Amino acid sequence: MALHRKAAPEISPDEFRLIGQLREQLMQIIPNGIPTDLDTNLNLVRWIRGYQKNIEKILQIFPVYVASRHAAGFDLPDFVEKFFDLPKIKPFLQYIASSRLNDRVWSDEHNAFLFVERGWSQPKEFTKVLRCSDYLLHCFGYSEMLLQLILRREKAQNGNKPVQFIVLFDLGEVNITDNLNPLSTHMKFWNLRSELWQNWYPETVQRIFIVNPPKFANILWKIAKLFMNDHNIELIEIISDKKDLLNHLPSWFIPKEFGGDFINTIAPGDDSGVSRRRKITSNDHLQSHSLYKKKGIKRSETNHQDIRSGATYSHKIDITTGQSTILWDFCANGDIEFAIYAINGEKKLIYPRYRLFAGKIPEEGMIENLRPGLYEFEFHNSSNYFDLKLDYCILSSP
């Protein structure tokens, strides 16, 4: 797939044929069909381009994305307007510096809007205030919000060219030495975030401009190649001198901070439209098993399970009358694909299917207001080589 440095091209006749083929097959395997907002030619062609016309791969991933989106509650009509106030999102916004511009900074030439984000200034502390699932839920929701802005633009345009967004990623506060160990917890977070974006939101990004890069910028390429496929690596442009950004984007599109003319005046963003984060202190650190304490429930004994490479382990729990909440926590010595299903006549996802990494802080969660019935926790060892050691606790309560 060729890289488009300006607006993405119109849908070709061959792509229209593939869209019809993809739509027909998705309608057969998704229980309630393709959600209306996602069932557009422009949205489906993003998947076709992002997966280099590999229809079979899309058929594996698209239904999981749709089910996970519904399980997270990210498919509601007012999702864009309510995202930043969602109870599972709002508490963590104080630690994250990302765009609050929505799609206000718009370029007709690129058929794209601006997104600005700053790299973590306290990466080791960051992973002590968010669990991996908390961070992925934020990234999932933010990516979905951006997609919804794209879909709204496309509907208003009624055209034949996909809308995208352009990323300015500021590394001015990043210490490169914090990011040299690919096995560190925060680098694992980045890896899983990149995987989620590439799997579920293909072709939404037009370009990624790295601004204020640290010294030894060649190290950035080595790091990026750990997380991104070859196609998305080509989206990245490292801008060593701010004036060079003007060779790619108009000055009115670029925040003044990065050598342009744009100044944001709408709260809560700063002059560049980025939310202001605060310094993380030890008082902010998460405590293990905090949800049990919050509910006033005694945690039961830990269960242990060895999971062979490529295998799946399931734990079922029956919610009886008078109970409506399930709580869980787990640790594993490697990445684990995790999901929760309701088993009531049909198997329905009620918790997004993620690949998670449980570091020093155990993964922990709670779902309330459940109906009586059977629920299944699924743990999949996605490694092709290594067995996985899982320690977990799952219980129900009123």
Number of independent structural domains in the chain: 2
Residue 2: what pLDDT? 43
Beta bridge partners of 255: 262
pLDDT exceeds cutoff 80 at 51 = yes
Q: Which amino acid is at 10?
A: E
What is the average pLDDT across 6-20? 96
Tell me if 68 is assigned to some domain: no
Question: Is the domain of 334 the same as that of 261?
Answer: no
Tell me if 179 is assigned to some domain: yes
Tell me if 24 is assigned to some domain: no
Question: Is the domain of 257 the same as that of 309?
Answer: no
What is the chain's mean pLDDT, rounded? 94
Q: Which of 82-86, 210-214, 252-256 has the lowest mean pLDDT?
A: 210-214
Any idea what the CATH number is for the domain that residue 146 is in? 3.40.525.10
pLDDT exceeds cutoff 90 at 175 = no
Q: Which domain holds residue 109?
A: 78-284
Residues 31-47: tens digit of each pLDDT: 999 999 999 999 999 99
Question: Is the domain of 307 the same as that of 223?
Answer: no
pLDDT tier at 178, thresholds 50, 70, 90: confident
Question: Is the domain of 260 the same as that of 324?
Answer: no
Number of CB atoms found within 10 A of residue 31's CB: 10
- Name the more confident of 227 and 307: 307
Tell me if 258 is assigned to some domain: yes
Q: Which amino acid is at 81?
A: E
Question: Is the domain of 309 the same as that of 341?
Answer: yes
What is the average pLDDT across 112-130? 94
Task: Report how far residue 1's alpha carbon sits from residue 53's, in angstroms, rounded to the nearest whole number.
Answer: 9
List the strands of the sheet with 303-307, edge to edge. 303-307, 388-397, 325-332, 363-367
CB 273 within 8 A of CB 259: no
Tell me if 43 is assigned to some domain: no
Question: Is the domain of 87 the same as that of 179?
Answer: yes
Question: Is the domain of 254 the same as that of 327?
Answer: no
CB 134 within 8 A of CB 94: no
Please list, in sequence order, all residues whose beta carbon lies within 8 angstroms of the beta carbon of residue 195, skipping any fewer than 6 positions away: 227, 355
Number of CB atoms found within 10 A of residue 160's CB: 13
Tell me if 56 is assigned to some domain: no
1-29 burial code (b ≥16 CB/10 A, e <16): eeebeebbeebeeebeebbeebbeebeee
Q: What residue has token string 């990445």? A: 335
Last residue within a domain, chosen from 269, 284, 299: 284
Q: Count each helix (H run) and each strand (E run) in the chain, helices first.
A: 10, 13
- Work out whether strand 112-118 and strand 164-170 pair parallel, antiparallel, or are unpaired: parallel
Residues 235-288: tens digit of each pLDDT: 999 999 999 999 999 999 999 999 999 999 999 999 999 999 999 999 999 998
Tell me if 251 is assigned to some domain: yes
Token pair of 16, please? 């229209």
Tell me if 60 is assigned to some domain: no
Distance, CA of 144 to chain centre: 8
What percentage of residues in the chain have a pLDDT greater than 70? 98
Question: Is the domain of 176 the same as that of 150?
Answer: yes
